[in-house]
Structure 1
């Protein structure tokens, strides 16, 4: 079925580590050979062997308008005809910044970068500069990019490969990163009681998307806000995945929590490389050239990413809350089909859905933490994943990753997915 992809993967392995430019693409968590993409159209992804899939990977989240949306493509083409990069300011960057600050009121000033990793790395440097403290707090299974201080008990691809502490991270760097279980408010209070004066910031995915979609327990995010304020630390919401995906104003709007700093990515580039960090004006005043905290990037705010991202955000604004309600309803139907199919066969299953994200686990619920997510049956997920591919549906090639919906998935694609789930579940028994 995958002769061309197998040949392409063999060629890729000769010139790239593991044959890929990002580890999870190698299918190590599910086995087999990764299929190679040919093109995408709307909710569908096509591989070079001629197969078509209803796509719930969506480039790991940014394609909220699906593949090759005509308006996004037109925006990129128009920008490219004027030039791909200038190294001097453009008005498009200002318009993008204005739109982000309008839609996320906690962000008073924003700096564009080129990736989520750049955004989180810069936000943490800024937090340390602002507080004159060294330690940060993250949560087990939370993946915030591959900066040294963040590859400590990280989730997603790191967990998939069994590397909770990546080689190459200096011990002295790791020692400034304090880790706690996600959703454990008491552990947060206890840590701050012991080390509060040392902590510059808490960084958290308000909805964990790198250990399979996991929702915050009631009161957890509120505790983070209260404790950080009490001890003079900053609260950083990593909304690289959730920003403009679970609500127009991100998870912070959905849950009514105002962080000090926010990191963004994914959707604000509509599929092009982009990230951003921003927050309170007094904190952002430390960023060069206004202040002494240095961060730069030649391609930051490049016109292609700004054009695509601005049009995407404008379209989301035009669509309004109804879009997010429909995305969540579809996600809940996928979870319901998954759980019902498992229950009929006596297979332990559980799932979550929020906004345009969902997560599927082969274990009994609830799933509230990285430890609980990690106890799910990875072998069953691998069999389910390949069976879904055979039935024309593409999911994330790891149980510790979220699934995503787009605005162009319709009842037709949902029905195909529900049918595929029913057939694929038979493969895991």
Structure 2
């Protein structure tokens, strides 16, 4: 199955809305990754595509914008992702004190993703800055629900990170991972969900909003979880966006089932983000609900982390039992998150845990993408730097 998009939107993906959307610039990273690969047919194929024009593909999904280098969920990061050929861009959706929907990875990450602790709004945080003392790391907790929309919009996005050894708020804000960069961190324009819709439409990309779990108790001032899920869909209806161009996501299966029942046109492409902690991807008997049961509920798309879809056989990366079971049930797979682990010289960490023994450097990134695309059959891959997935998809002729 292909992603299903309205004909007019397909034209937009090919030709772009305006001059910016038509321009794709992959930059040097894909060539650098190819150069790190072991010699073989895959490297030969990818090398043959270096320097060739790239196309915008739905296989390439922007995760939080382009947070390998740009502050996440900012206008600047979203524009960078589109320029790198992402065909689908993500706005993680949460809400403010006045129940307005905004783009943030979680409701309580403002202290690590914005400059709030350097502003007067720090006094409104759920938990103010506490310096590191003895065995206690520095901490803070600032929520979108601590602020009105106007206050939220006054903040500036920054690279996600915090220095847990800090004794001042200023130092706490400087915790960017060494394999990211501050080069583009000086300007991070925060966005509402509605603003992201208008921007993505102008950029000629499809939409994948994720309904984030609230940190506040629900109902929140009369807004139930169902109201919250509906509010997300209503923004697309108000903007006149065709349902087939929207891939609404949630880790909460109840949200996905709500969309399937109450907004069936949007529900057809609703994505169940599967991060069940009690699930053993090597043992299908541990899946509850099972893949077949999810399909019977009306779920069509399921999206686990990439390690869940992969395993090792005789040292080779192959599809996991989870991947095979999902395909057998007729579910379509998306996965996350490429290029979020930093350098892969020591196994790749959490995202690569099922195949860590085979991950010995960054040259493995495109090998992993190849197995996911050609053997697992994923329809798309989230990446923190979409140029990589755009390059691979363009080279291999993927949609």
Global fold match (TM > 0.5): no
Q: Normalised by the size of structure 1, how large is the TM-score?
A: 0.28
